[in-house]
Structure 1
Amino acid sequence: MLLRITRAILHGIYVSGIQLIYMPSYLMYMLLLRPLTWFAVTTPLYWRFEGYIHSVMTYMFATWAVFTGHTIVEVGDDLRPCCTGDRVILMSNHQSAMDIPIIAAVMAGANKGVVKRYYSWIMHKMFFYTHFGVVGQIRGDFFIETGKEVRELQPKLLAQYVKDVFLERGRRWLVVFPEGGFLHKRLKDSQQYAKKHDLPILEHTTLPRLGAMKALFSAMPRDNSWVIDTTIAYPQGKCLDLHHMTFAWHKPCSTIVHHRKYHLSEIPTDDANLTQWLYDRYAEKDKLLKDYYATGELPASENGRAPFYLTTKPWLAGILAVVQIASLYFVIYLIKFPFSFL
């Protein structure tokens, strides 16, 4: 028990430390690189450097899941063909805050190449003024609002974002949670809507929000783009929460991340068929989760691909954290230095 408590305290300190240095260090680097945006010829270089810096942050967030003894196993389709420069919309189910570091671990995986430098998030507007949101504003993530009064406006803004920001800045992967919220918060409303409109009544996922997804599919270039249908499956359906992410109190376990890829050119474009396609994907997700929770077995891979175990290097994460803290201290010193002569 003493060892477990000590481990929880140390992990809590580590996670809190990352939270504290995340935004200041990122802002510091972006401020130093800002002059590159003054000239059109050097602006792409600015975003290239930003990708490297953000990839470090992605790697450190990925360690939140792995340092707990948590095992993340990728199964399903091989995503390497999607990692060579094509555009990707990764749509995942959403059960808890732990989904975020798990997706970060997917992005940081050794089998994804440079993807961790070139991806963006679609996140709820509520995160706009958090430290994640401040970084997202700078790097060009999209903050989506919900509600009847903005239902028609948001898809238009999202489509414009893809053209003006995502494609313009050379981003490749776009992460979205089409359900629009955590499973436990949306399940009841989703089931009531399904009953009213004679749609599949889902138990382990909720029906996706259609407007945003249709806008994404229409705005993304169809000739070199993919849609990756990602399903996160926690053991016995008991999703890990913020408490586990921070203190790693629960026993280590394995989470399955199942992928199925579709070329965007194969997906219907007309409204009725695209709607049905999206609903079919979430019905498949629901069945996959139901079967996994009942049997505890990995979903069979149709292409015979062996499961891929996502790992991180603790020593590398430690070095990166020290470098972040040291560089932040150095810049503060440079700012204070001229005032020492006054």
Structure 2
Amino acid sequence: MAVTLEQAQRVGYTCLKALLRFAFMVANNLVAIPSYVLYLIVLQPLRILDSKSFWYIEGVLFKWLLAMVASWGWWAGYTVVEWGDDVKAVSEDEAMVLVNHQATGDVCTLMMCLQDKGTVVRQMMWLMDHIFKYTNFGIVSLIHGDFFIRQGKAHRDQQLVLLKDHLEKYYRSRNRKWIVLFPEGGFLRKRRETSQAFAKKNNLPFLKHVTLPRLGATQVILKTLVALQENGTPSGGDAVRKESKSKGLQWVIDTTIAYPKAEPIDIQTWILGYRQPTVTHVHYRIFPVKDVPAEPEALTNWLYQRFIEKEDLLTHFYETGAFPPPQGQTKAISREMTLSNLWLVAIQSFAFLSGGMWYCLFQYLYHCLF
């Protein structure tokens, strides 16, 4: 079939746009990440004198870095619509966020949709596959205190011990509030067949849009971060919220990400922007930690039930284009998440100005010394 001039022009435009976006992303990383590291090196005396202020500044810089990643998708037309509970109500409390995992774009989507949730982004900790340690963002996550977990039975027990130690050492000392993890332990396309075989063998529901979650990391987080007595409600007022801050982990936020036509966005698409503008849908459901069982068997069943509910949510979404309304209601209400272009431009400008400043400084020092 012959290619028309219009089709050739469209392909050429897409390739040129992808090339320019890739060049911008590379430049963005070259100025932003070294600047983040250098600012924190210079601020090391503050870390000794006033650790709280140091980690506050680090958190702000971390949030700005994640906003830069969000901007790559935002300016390509990849937006987010939110459903379910309003997580802003618990943004100042400690929470564990459980997310289904379809592709690398899930992380970028979370980086975007959590930007307007108060202090969440700068005070959050991520649990991610150890391979991300060796990416361009690895050094940032290491400094911030995220945890890189190795998958597989051979590493499982050791990794859970390391996770517990990591949480005890860094979570409270750096004033973290939310911890994000993907309990499925891998991408949907990679784990679906194994999960379905396990479900069939153990007489568990057959899941197509999610996989059965793994218990280990969730159990360690709950055991390590949950206080003995738990909490109020999101609408309990300032007194309840103030009291809850001293009580450890307060909430579990069950987060379900859905892509149109079940076609997830990967990191390459997010960077290059060759896919048409896409709206990703994110559904939240908040559970008080006091309602989450502590015993391993009961916790496993509870966690399985959450992912069975995710399956139902995603099935409904792929059939209708919307999530179902909450129980007892007749209509589901969605909220379009927005980012300020002016704010994103300001952050990008700060990054490039910082990169230029550090370059000039090192050039000056080089000429002085040599």
Q: TM-score range by the shorter chain?
A: over 0.9
| Counterpart residue number, 1:101 | 108
8 Å CA contact retained: 1:93, 1:178: yes
8 Å CA contact retained: 1:28, 1:328: no
Per-residue Cα deviation, 1:45-93 (whole angstroms, up to 9, x for no partner) = 1101101111111211112222111220010011122112x11111100
Q: CA deviation at 1:336?
A: 3.2
Per-residue Cα deviation, 1:173-224 (whole angstroms, up to 9, x for no partner) = 1111111111101111111111122222211111111111111111112424
Q: CA deviation at 1:268?
A: 0.6
Aligned length: 337
Correspondence list, 1:242-281, <5 A: 242-281=267-306
Task: Give the counterpart of 2:262 among 233, 237, 243.
Answer: 237
Task: Give the counterpart of 1:157 among 158, 162, 171.
Answer: 162
Task: Give the counterpart of 1:300 among 308, 318, 325.
Answer: 325
| Counterpart residue number, 1:12 | 22
Q: CA deviation at 1:262?
A: 0.5
1:176 paired to 2:190: no
TM-score, with length taken from structure 1:
0.92
8 Å CA contact retained: 2:81, 2:337: yes
8 Å CA contact retained: 2:257, 2:282: yes
1:211 paired to 2:229: no
| Counterpart residue number, 1:91 | 98
1:55 paired to 2:63: yes
| Counterpart residue number, 1:199 | 204
1:282 paired to 2:317: no
1:332 paired to 2:342: no
Per-residue Cα deviation, 1:79-122 (whole angstroms, up to 9, x for no partner) = 122112x111111001111111110012202xx11212111111
Task: Give the counterpart of 1:80 among 88, 92, 105.
Answer: 88
Please identify the structure whose Cα radius of gyration is greater.
2
CA distance in 1, matches of 2:192, 2:325: 27
8 Å CA contact retained: 2:28, 2:351: no
8 Å CA contact retained: 1:71, 1:310: yes
SS in 2 for 1:152: helix
| Structure 2: runs of 5 or more not aligned | 1-9, 231-243, 245-249
Per-residue Cα deviation, 1:212-240 (whole angstroms, up to 9, x for no partner) = 11111111124241110000000011112
Q: Tell which deviates more after alignment, 295-304 or 205-214.
A: 295-304
8 Å CA contact retained: 2:147, 2:163: yes
- Identity between Structure 1 and Structure 2 (%): 34
SS in 1 for 2:95: strand
TM-score, with length taken from structure 2:
0.86
CA distance in 2, matches of 1:19, 1:100: 17
CA distance in 2, matches of 1:7, 1:300: 39
Amino acid at match of 2:309: E
SS in 2 for 1:128: helix
Task: Give the counterpart of 1:71 among 65, 79, 84.
Answer: 79
Q: 1:34 to 1:285 in 2, by over 3 A?
A: same
Q: CA deviation at 1:19?
A: 3.0
